[in-house]
A = this chain, B = another copy of it.
Amino acid sequence: MIMDLQKRKELKKKLYTIIFKTDTEEGKRFDIILLNVILLSVILAAIESVVAFNARYALPFRICEWIITILFTIEYATRIYCSPNRKKYIFSVYGIIDLLSILPFFIGILYSSTHYLIVIRALRLLRIFRILKLTHFLKEGNHLVDSLRRSVKKIMIFTYFIMILVTILGALMYLVEGSVNPSFSNIPKSIYWAVVTITTVGYGDITPITFLGQTISVIVMLLGYSILAVPTGIISSELIKPLRKKNITCPNCGENKHEADASYCKNCGTFLPHNNNNLS
């Protein structure tokens, strides 16, 4: 009985290593197979949505989907089984995604309309970032992620400003074009137009037809032109920043934002022993 428990524990540990760990040989192999199955499943869902294909090969598609979903369900169950901290896994981002990627299939049996929600499985592809963490992409990826994280706050202020601007522009265009141009028949549509224009997407499904409307559009475009430059500038400067300052902490005052070639603390004048290129 105890042996059995011991065995089960070992099995659990082994499964954990294969499924959750990414730095062992088996873990890596498992993850690569998993990623390919996810990719296959997403491609299948995409192809299935094409009517012509679907009609002809309805059965094989259905079977493939059944197989993949069963595999995913088994995997999900195993993950819960072998996880040392089940609650943590179930409510983690990856855990929720794993659940969401099998749920639509089972609901789809009852309500066929939700069937295509299985494409949510594409989210599971994000798992690649867990694997990449262990390769040489690590440094690059992290640097990128760090810079983006630092940019987020600034870009959010900026996006908030854009949203106010876009609301005002939308309302203005509604007043100018609304009465003669059915495309600008209400404010939400006009705001949609303003976003389409200011981001330089420019579908052309809603375009101004009056002279005043076109003049305002021209101003909006020239504005959007310069505005587009701001997030780029923010991210560029964040990406350049980390190349500047090393983390040298002053042993006296704790100041830790020194330049790479500083020998003395800029704040209190103490010698920085860390930087031993200078006086060795």
Taking beta carbons and an 8 Å cutoff, which residues of A are in contact with B?
42, 45-47, 49-51, 116-117, 119-120, 122-123, 125-126, 128, 132, 137, 140-141, 144, 147-148, 153-155, 157-160, 162-164, 167-168, 170-171, 174-175, 178, 185-189, 191-192, 195-197, 199-205, 207, 211, 214, 217-218, 221-222, 224-226, 228-241, 243-244, 249, 254-271, 277-280
Are A240 and B249 within 8 A (Cβ)? no
Are A171 and B45 within 8 A (Cβ)? yes
Are B122 and A167 within 8 A (Cβ)? yes
Closest residue of B by beta carbon distance from A167 = B122
Are A159 and B222 within 8 A (Cβ)? yes
Copies of this chain, how many? 4
Are A137 and B157 within 8 A (Cβ)? yes
Closest residue of B by beta carbon distance from A235 = B233
Are A221 and B195 within 8 A (Cβ)? yes
Are A229 and B222 within 8 A (Cβ)? no
Given contacts A46-B187, A236-B237, A254-B278, A140 and B116 within 8 Å (CB-CB): no
Closest residue of B by beta carbon distance from A153 = B140
Contacts of A254 in B (CB 8 A): 263, 277-280
* Complex Cα gap A83–B191 (Å): 35
In-complex Cβ contact of A232 among B232, B256, B259 (8 A):
B232
* Complex Cα gap A170–B218 (Å): 13
* Complex Cα gap A201–B200 (Å): 4
Given contacts A269-B263, A269-B269, A278-B254, A238 and B233 within 8 Å (CB-CB): yes
- Give 4 nearest A-B pairs by CB, closest first: A119-B171, A264-B269, A262-B266, A201-B202
